[in-house]
Amino acid sequence: MTVNLGFWIDAAGGINSVDWAVSQIVSWGQVNGWSVFDFFTVGNEAINDGYVTIPQLIQKIASIKTILNNAGWTGQITTSEPPATFIAHPELCTQSVIDFVGVNPHAYFNANLYAYQAGEYVFSQTQQVAQICAKSAFITETGYPHKGNVFGNNVPSPENQVIALQSIMQYTGGNATILTTYDDYWKSPGPHGIEQYFGMINLVQDSS
């Protein structure tokens, strides 16, 4: 088992909020080795959330990659954003040192889609970003809520979560990170009342 580890950028600390975590990982890796890590992600939707600017993130990714390389890490590094961020700002992937593109496509936020169309949407958005960036793209986060507000044709429910996730698995061949194992009650519900309700542990338990 390997770990895809993320360095979280928050609103309070801005672009430098990752520095402590990076130093801790470097200290750990130099003692224990790097084989447990698959890749590192610098920021998760930090541009989408308005926490940092594109130039700030590009510079920070380069800095962290250099720090990790100097400490013995020879693997990959990326950042994760919704497809719309890379489509609007391709320089984030074309002018940065990321090794591949981390995309977070969520069909729920497209009001024109039904749950059964989630997989096709997720796959097509990922392909579009890969083409724009001229780099491989990996789905670092996707899923479907089982509870929350109706948004267009999207109706959060346990039944539609199953339909959406089956569609996503079909179109991606399982090459995606599904959000998430358990419901995240620590999160704010968000404007659509869904952010806490992507947990799919019940689906796994029901199929076992």
User: Which amino acids are annotated catalytic?
Assistant: 141
Consecutive H or E run containing 43: strand 37-44
- What is the distance of C-alpha 54 from the center of its chain? 17
Separation of alpha carbons 75 and 204, rounded Å:
31
The strand order across the sheet containing 3-7 reads 3-7, 37-44, 76-81, 101-103, 137-142, 176-178
The first and second tokens of residue 149, run together, are 């507000």
The answer to whether 54 and 98 are in contact (CB under 8 A) is: no
Q: Long-range pairs for 30-33 at CB < 8 Å and ≥24 separation? A: 30/71, 30/72, 33/72
Q: How far apart are CA 96 and CA 58, in angstroms?
A: 5
What's phi and psi for 162, nearest 5 deg?
A: -60, -45
